[in-house]
Amino acid sequence: MSNARRVDELRRAQNPLFNDKKLKLGTFGSNLNGGCAISTIDGTLRADWPSTLAVSQLADEMGFEALVPVGRWRGFGGKTNFNGPGFETYSWAAGIAALTKNSCVFSTSHVPTVHPIMAAKQATTIDHISGGRYALNIVTGWHKPEIDMFGAPLIDHDTRYDVAVEWLEIIKRLWTWEEEFDFEGKYFKIQKGYLEPKPLQKPYPVVMNAGGSDKGRHYAAKYCDVAFVVLDTHEFEGAKARVDAYRELARKEYGRDIEVWSYAYVYQGRTEKEAKDYFELVTGARHGDIEAATNLVETMGINAMTFPPGVLDQMKIHFMAGWGGYPLIGTPDQIVDGLKIMSRMGLDGTLLSWPRYIDDMKWFKANVMPLVNQSGLR
C-alpha cells in the first residue's frame, strides 16, 4: 500500500488523530493510580472508574484527539507503589469508548501477554463501540517483573521486535483478509485464521508504537501510523532533530508519512511562581516518591553507568513530575508558548498529564484551553 493511500484512508475514516489541527492533544496514563505523577500529594489520580472516566470526558469535551492508557501489570514500589493499581487497557478502552464522543481511544498492548487473535478481536470490538475512533498502541515489554508474572522469559530487545512484526502481521491479516488463512512464522502458528466482523476503519485501525532504539524506530517507521517519541533532551534543537530524524527515516527508508507524537506534563498557575511552587511541592523531598522513581528508571535500564549522577537526579525529578515528559510550567500564556514550541519541533501532537489530574484539567479547561484555541494551534 502506498503511503499516500494509507494517509488518505485514515482521513476518510475520520479518525480524530488525522484531523487538520496543527497540534493535536491527548491524555496519558489516566487508567493508572497516580496517573503520571510519582508523588504523595493529595489529589493525585486514583484507579477507580469515576476518576478515570472523569479525565476522559473532560478531554473529550475539550476536543482532545487521543486518550492513551499505559499498559501496566504491576507498580514500581516506593511509598506510592506508583502505577500499581490500574485498569487493563482493552477493557478500559471499551468502557471509555462507549462514554465519549470525540476522542480516539487507545488500548496499549504488550506483545508477549496477548495473543494476536485475541488482540485483533478485542480491537475490532472497541472500534465498533467507538464508531471508528480506536487505535492500537503496541509495546514489546521491558518491565521484567511484569513479564515474569506471565511465566515467560524477557527475551532480548531486538528479538522482541521480531516477534512484534509477526504479531502485527497476523492482526492486520485478520482485520483485512476475507478468506481464512494459515500462518507459520518463527514465533506464531495460525490455522485457518478468521475474524468477523471487520473493523469499521478501513482497511484497519490506526497503529502506534513508541520505539526509541534503532530497531524500534525502524519498526514504527515501517509498520505503524504514529510514532510516539520520548524526547531525550528538552533543548529545542536536539528535540527537533530527533523528531525530524524519525519522520525522515519513515520517508526515505520506507516511503511512508507517519505522525510523530510526544508527551508533556503541565504545572499551571496564575503566576509563574505559583506554577513553580506547585512543581516543587509534587517533586520535592516531602512528597516526591524518589524510591519509586529510582525503581522505574533502573528497570528501564537507566543508571549512573549511563548518565552522570547529576543528570540522573534531574531525570528522576522529571519522572516524578510526569513520567519524564517535556515540562510545561507556568501561567496559561506560558503553557501555550510551550505548546507552540512543541509544534515547532515538528510534532503532530502531544499527550498531556497533570499531577492532580481532574482538578488540574478543570482549571486547564477554564483558563488555558481558550488561549490554546486562539493561538492557531487548534
**For residue range 109-144, what is the model confidence (pLDDT) as tens digits?**
999 899 999 999 999 999 999 999 999 999 997 788
Question: What pLDDT was estimated at residue 8?
Answer: 79
Grid cell listed for 92: 478500559
Grid cell listed for 3: 503511503
Local structure of residue 86 (DSSP, 8 states): B
If you average pLDDT over every residue of the chain, what do you get?
Answer: 93
By C-alpha distance, which of 35, 213, 187, 197 is closest to 111? 187
Question: What pLDDT was estimated at residue 304?
Answer: 44
Cis (ω within 30 of 0) for the bond into 355?
A: no
Q: Which fold has domain 3-374?
A: TIM Barrel (3.20.20)
Tens digit of pLDDT for each residue in 321-368?
999 999 999 999 999 999 999 999 999 999 999 999 999 999 999 999
By C-alpha distance, which of 143, 37, 135 is closest to 89? 135
In angstroms, rounded to a whole number, what is the distance separating the alpha carbons of residues 326 and 296? 18
**Domains of the chain: which residue ranges?**
3-374
Summarize the confidence of residues 246-268 as an average pLDDT. 96
Model-level pTM greater than 0.75? yes
Which amino acid, one-letter code, is at 299?
T
Length of the chain: 378
Q: Residue 305: which pLDDT band, with cuts at 50, 70 and 90?
A: very low
**How many CB atoms are located within 10 Å of the residue 347 CB?**
26
Question: What pLDDT was estimated at residue 261?
Answer: 98
Tens digit of pLDDT for each residue in 54-89?
999 999 999 999 999 999 999 999 999 999 999 999
Tens digit of pLDDT for each residue in 175-233?
999 999 999 999 999 999 999 999 999 999 999 999 888 999 999 999 999 999 989 88
Q: Residue 311: which pLDDT band, with cuts at 50, 70 and 90?
A: low
Question: What pLDDT was estimated at residue 3?
Answer: 55
Local structure of residue 361 (DSSP, 8 states): H
Are 321 and 275 spatial neighbours (Cβ–Cβ below 8 Å)? no
Q: Residue 303: which pLDDT band, with cuts at 50, 70 and 90?
A: very low
Cα three-residue angle 151-153-158, rounded to 5 degrees = 145
